[in-house]
Amino acid sequence: MKNIAVLVSGGGTNLQALIDAQSSGIIKSGKINLVISNNPDAYALKRAENANIKTAVCNKKELGNDFEDALINILEQNNTDIIVLAGFMCILSEKFTSHFANKILNVHPSLIPSFCGKGFYGLHVHEAALGYGVKVTGATVHFVNEIPDGGKIIMQKAVEIKEDDTPETLQKRVMEEAEWKILPLSVEKVCSEN
């Protein structure tokens, strides 16, 4: 049974999808034993507490250059095997990603290599997809390395774009139809193979 740590910054909808997948048996080769937020006010921390999962706050503004060292310390103290970035709004350095090589997963709200990399997060991704006029978008779960959205792809799922989509409606549909499905499946896949 792998120890899974989930890193969050905001509302925690992807975290909730993982908690629900663990409860329903989709994730069975690992267990979420820790949720860390860089934002002390993140609602995701409340979601974790409601599920009786240990939480920690690692505030980048307060820690400055010691942020990643503090993060590594907390993860190692909790015997973390797999790290999932679920709406974690911090870019991690090569020092951090190489320390946990092939152990960090991220979900990105597009079909990589489209609409990814620096500056492509949240609604920006969906605005770009709609602005470009693509007919299909989706989500990608990938390993994290030092290049934003640059790690090896684990799983992807396509979502059709509708004529009347706005960035907000598209974001919601990509989460519901793709992110919340492939993130738990990818976590189980990586836990079962490591």
Task: Specify whether the CB–CB gap between 32 and 53 falls below 8 A.
Answer: yes
Identify which has the larger pLDDT, 165 or 60: 165
Rounded CA-CA distance 123/143 in Å is 22
Go through the domains of the chain in sequence order and give each one's CATH number.
2-193 (3.40.50.170)
Q: Does the reported pTM lie above 0.85?
A: yes
| 108: annotated active-site residue | yes
Sign, CA torsion 187/101/42/127: negative
Query: pLDDT tier at 194 (50, 70, 90 boundaries)?
Result: confident
**Separation of alpha carbons 62 and 162, rounded Å:** 43
β-pair type (2-8, 55-57): unpaired
Catalytic choice (99, 108, 124, 142): 108
Diameter over CA atoms, the chain: 49
DSSP 142: E
pLDDT, tens digit, for every residue of 18-33?
A: 999 999 999 999 999 9
